[in-house]
Structure 1
């Protein structure tokens, strides 16, 4: 199989695209082993390091998965959880993601990883103002699969130990607990969506390769009067969660 050596597209990217196309047309089925680096290097007429980079890129985005001592396999495509956000309703519904998971027969649990009282980061201070704030880091999982890594910044009326205790309950932090933690019923201030590569810390918690694509959703929650009460950042591995915002005409 030939590649274009005159193209401005790097060789490893061309190989990555070829391999992805071969998977999509069924040449390599889900669960099948792809050829070794040596075989692929011979097919494409490149060195093994070029093939290795192409495979690493496909592993990073979840198309391939390596199994120690067994080879590299075509990964099972993830079935994302669709979380619908109603553009007409500003009241935050903490059950939204849980209901979305349940609609696919999966149970979602949010557990606390860390709680500490620190000075607000520059980004968080831009939302809730500078000064001391409670930082809460959580991990949401479904059937043991990590879905979301979240960092909340809030000036909570609750001490860190009380927040940790809520996170240790059997079902993790429940919807009612978040309003208690914030000290108010919360409403959407704004949300932003971006993509970022997984850092080493992200990769460890979310169970993905370093550098893999993450969906980043940041936002500010307010009380009913519009006063800022919580800044948050959520990170989701590509393909595990999808945000849907319908725009009704009525």
Structure 2
């Protein structure tokens, strides 16, 4: 990888590095999945400080051009997965609609006594038995999200570990013959920490999208509470809006 850097120009060096790497990506000299040189290698190659290189690389990661993989290095991004916030769909349905193969890595499957905060969301007494399911959601084998789902045990007879490894919504609709109605979803920006970094291959403090969804059956009965963490460099949500005048 060769960058045209001129220290005599009034343009900041970190910006020259950013624009140079962007140009190589856009010209397809750097392709999705390519490993770029390490910060140390770039410092030595161009005689610049590590802080300058890090600022450029951080900006490119935040903008979605590059992605860091813990313990492996920094790679050219394969592009962000786009999801339109329209209708209640499962992760598996979203991936298949994009021609990708959805997958699930089940981390844990437990029946627990629900905490006060969780049980309040299901309008049941504290201590009611709740399924807690922790999963990594995959698209063509790539980790796209870390999910923690809570579902009331009394509502889901026959819900097993094997079911949790697939699409829960398909089980609810096709096996239990329950109709899923609507969901309330909240999105916010956050930073990766702890187990999220390990599971999604992110550095501590990497930008992520935190999504909290509560799904209801058509009759209004709460079905699921789920907390999902999506890497900010792999996923984006698109909202179609129509102007309304009050």
Q: Identify the residue that residue 128 of structure 1 maps to in structure 2.
A: 122
Summarize deviations over 1:107-160 as a string: whole Å, max 9, x none.
112343211223445653453354342211111112210111111112123789
| 1:56 positional shift | 7.1
SS of corresponding position for 2:19: helix
**Cα RMSD, aligned residues only:** 4.0
* Residues 156, 182 of structure 1: 8 Å contact kept: no
Which residue of 1 is the match for residue 181 of structure 2? 187
Contact 2:67–2:77 (CA under 8 A) maintained in structure 1: no
Q: Where does residue 55 of structure 2 map in the other structure?
A: 54
- The change in CA–CA distance for 1:15 and 1:67 in structure 2 (over 3 A counts) is farther
Measure the CA separation in 1 of the matches of 2:16 and 2:109.
46
Contact 1:134 1:160 in 2 (8 A): no
Q: Please tell me whether residue 208 in structure 1 is matched to residue 202 in structure 2.
A: yes
Correspondent of 2:146 among 132, 143, 149: 149
5+ residue gaps, structure 2: 1-6
Distance 2:177 2:98 in 1: 32
Note the alpha carbon deviations across 1:179-229, whole angstroms, 9 max, x for none. Answer: 589994333241111121112311221122222111111111122232323
Contact kept, 8 Å, 2:95 with 2:139, in 1: the verdict is yes
**TM-score, with normalisation over the residues of structure 1?**
0.68
Distance 1:147 1:113 in 2: 15
User: Structure 1 residue 238: deviation in Å?
Assistant: 1.7
Residue matched to 1:93: 89
Provide the residue aligned with 1:80 in structure 2.
80
* Higher deviation after alignment, 122-131 or 174-183: 174-183
2:137 corresponds in structure 1 to: 140
Give the CA deviation at 1:178: 4.1
- Of residues 22, 25, 32 in structure 2, which corresponds to 1:24? 22
After TM superposition, the structure 1 = structure 2 runs for residues 226-237 of structure 1, keeping only pairs within 5 Å, are 226-237=220-231
Q: Secondary structure at the match of 2:89?
A: coil
Q: Which runs of 4+ in 1 moved over 6 A?
A: 66-69, 158-161, 180-183
Deviates more, 1:54-63 or 1:194-203: 54-63
Indicate the SS of the match to 1:226.
coil
Q: Retained in 2: the 8 A contact 1:82–1:100? A: no
SS where residue 124 of structure 1 aligns?
Answer: helix
Distance change (3 Å), C-alpha of 1:26 and 1:60: closer
Residue in structure 2 matched with residue 164 of structure 1 by the alignment: 161
Q: Distance in 2 between matches of 1:209 and 1:68?
A: 9
What is the CA-CA distance between 1:83 and the residue it aligns to?
Answer: 2.5
- Shift of the 26–34 alpha-carbon distance from structure 1 to 2, 3 Å rule, reads farther
**In 2, are the aligned partners of 1:182 and 1:229 still within 8 Å (CA)?**
no
Distance 1:188 1:210 in 2: 34
Instruction: Give the drift of 1:53.
Output: 4.7
Number of residues of Structure 1 aligned to a counterpart in Structure 2? 224
Alpha-carbon distance between aligned partners in 2 of 1:175 and 1:159, rounded to the nearest angstrom: 11
Task: Say whether the 8 Å CA contact 1:107–1:142 is kept in structure 2.
Answer: yes
Per the TM alignment, residue 52 of structure 1 is displaced from its structure 2 partner at its CA by 6.8
